[in-house]
Amino acid sequence: MPCFSWKTIQQRIKVNVEIKLINKGSSGFAFSCLKEDKSNPLNVTSEISREYFKNEVGKSFSGYHLFIDNKISGHLYYSISQNSILPFTAEDDVILIICTWILRKYRNMGLGKRLFERLKEDNKDMKGIVVRATTSPIFMYYTHFQRFGFRPVYQDKGYVYMYLPLKAEKVKVIIRKEKNINKEGIFILRNNFCPMIPFKVSEIKKIATELSIHYEEVEINHENIEKYGIDNGVFINGMKYPYNVGDRDLIKKVIDENLR
């Protein structure tokens, strides 16, 4: 099988590729994953996440947008460990990958590698890069990161923590633990970064309102991430509820059994 360089492939398919550093003005292009399907229900709450994007970019996270022929086609978002409001962190000066995506029609073209090469080029003074990859091929699959040179260091609850050294062969990774959630009723922890979270939370709140059940809601930030240890979740009488989009009957059943 012949082997072609990225330059050769780009010439053959005749596309213009740009990788741009994100800023407040980039919010309209954020979350390229939503471009896969215009009917994606997450578009309903995407404006909440775009507002969060504008307020937090350059503070708790940074990253890049990938454009092909001037159309948003991918992204890579990351945090620096000392600024992180993620459920995991590391010693100072370590890059933490939050989310990365390439539109399906542009995969297997070396674009993901190009994003990571840009990340490394812009962060030469950092010790290394940590990613909390998944064991699901749908999203952030750990084998994808192995191709970029990441190595697994720890596995826990469906996640594979992986490391790519830059200046340090090893770094200390800290997995935050859930705590201080022993509350009665419905307690919602919300991180608006990903449109999935405000969408799920909105469904829970609608059902609670319909059933006249009180709920308490807290948005995770730099001040309270250490207090709670996790960045999102719905808890009923202190027990975490693994909510899914669209399971209204199950949500009502759980609330009925525990709160009524």
Domains, the chain, ordered by start = 6-172 (3.40.630.30), 186-259 (3.40.30)
Contact status, residue 103 vs residue 32, Cβ threshold 8 Å: yes
CA distance 46 to 98: 17
Residue 168's region, left for phi above 0, alpha for psi from -120 to 50, else beta, is beta
Q: Give yes or no for residue 10 having a pLDDT over 60.
A: no
Pairing of strands 186-190, 173-175: unpaired
Burial code of 202-232, b = ≥16 C-beta within 10 A, e = fewer?
A: ebbbebbeeeebebeeeebeeeebeebbbbb
∠ CA(187), CA(190), CA(193), 5° rounding?
170
| Cα-Cα-Cα-Cα dihedral sign, residues 186, 189, 190, 194 | negative
Token reading at 16: 């213009």
Going by C-alpha positions, the residue among 196, 204, 186 that lies closest to residue 248 is 204
- Quick one: pLDDT at residue 254? 77
CA distance 239 to 237: 6
Backbone dihedral angles phi then psi of residue 188, each to the nearest 5 degrees: -115, 125
pLDDT band for position 172 (50/70/90)?
Answer: very high
Q: Give yes or no for residue 240 having a pLDDT over 70.
A: yes
Going by C-alpha positions, the residue among 62, 161, 242, 150 that lies closest to residue 251 is 242
SS3 of 253, please? Answer: helix
CA distance 57 to 76: 13
pLDDT band for position 106 (50/70/90)?
Answer: very high
Going by C-alpha positions, the residue among 138, 193, 129, 201 that lies closest to residue 165 is 129
Per DSSP, helices labelled H in 157-195 are none
| pLDDT tens digits, one per residue of 17-58 | 999 999 999 999 999 999 999 888 889 889 999 999 999 999
| pLDDT tens digits, one per residue of 57-105 | 999 999 999 999 999 999 999 999 999 999 999 999 999 999 999 999 9
